Amino acid sequence: MNGHHRVLTLIPAHNEAASLPAVVGELRQRRRDLDVLVVDDGSSDHTTELLRELGVQWLHWPERRGVGRALRAGLRYAARQGYDLVVRLDADGQHHVEDVERLLVPLLAGRADVVLGSRFVESNGTRRPGPIQRSLGALLSMITGRTVTDPTSGFWALGPRAVALLAEHHPAGYPEPELHLFLSRNALRVMEVDVQSRARMHGRSSLTPTRLLGAGARIALALLIVPFRATDGSADD
């Protein structure tokens, strides 16, 4: 159904050797039409050795640089290789491969530049975001003028315009909330769709209280600064 479009699945991974093979396997089984790029962000387990056996494309560097930079590099690769559409999902297996189609449909129909998978869309009332996510979502909704139900979602798809822009300027650090600000600042058409999520297969969430505090400070700064940046986010020098 993707016609002439080239779609790249982007999976940032840091020490995900336990779950990565299953995620790639599921993609291979259900979506043979999608190419897969794993961005290995300085893993110290055997993720790096695994990449050779998985038969995927990959980027690798020896030191951890953060998921934001990993995504930016992956998007730059996608732009360079001529992919139109990019889907990002997590290496921990929390996202369902069958939901990829729901993310791609609005892009293929030209109705959006960015489709965000949300675990907490109003229509399905079974799951509820925690208090921090809810307040962050409310804050981002207020600033972007668009309902943000899942500010920390790591499951999204980008159309050509968003790929080109984010390949240069994807926020570094703890990027998901900052991404919302960037998208709204650059007038990209953003849409949320309902997606499932399941408990991660292995390991723990990277959101420790300390990280959350650091992320909060970064987001506060971004809230002040991003709205006043030049629209493509480039440095002024």
Partner 1 sequence: MTDRVQVLALTGSVLFLLFVLELVRRRRLAEEYSALWIVSALALIGISLRRDVLDFAARWMGVYYPPAVLVLMLVAIISVASLSFSVILSRQQRQIDRLIEENAIMAAELRELRWKREANAGGSAIRPVSEPSLSSPIATVSASDIVVDATVKPRNH
Is the Cβ of residue 38 or residue 136 nearer to partner 1 in the bound state?
A: 38
Token pair in block for residue 37: 């790029």
Give start and end residues of each alpha helix (H) in 13-108.
20-30, 47-54, 67-80, 100-108
| 80 near partner 1, rule: CB under 8 A | yes
Q: Which of 5, 28, 30, 60 binds partner 1 (CB under 8 A)?
A: 60
Q: What is the DSSP string of 154-188?
A: --EEE-HHHHHHHHHH---SSHHHHHHHHHHHTT-
| 102 near partner 1, rule: CB under 8 A | no
Helix (H) or strand (E) holding 216: helix 209-225
Q: Which of 3, 4, 29, 52 binds partner 1 (CB under 8 A)?
A: 52
Query: Which residue has tokens 């990280």?
Result: 211
| 152 near partner 1, rule: CB under 8 A | no
* Residues in binding contact with partner 1, number by CB under 8 A: 22
| 103 near partner 1, rule: CB under 8 A | no
Spatial distance between the Cα atoms of 94 and 155, rounded to a whole number of angstroms: 9
Output the smallest distance, CB 17 to partner 1, in A. Answer: 16
Where along the sequence are the contacts to partner 1 (CB under 8 A)?
37, 48, 52-53, 55, 57-63, 65, 69, 72-73, 76-77, 80, 172, 235, 237
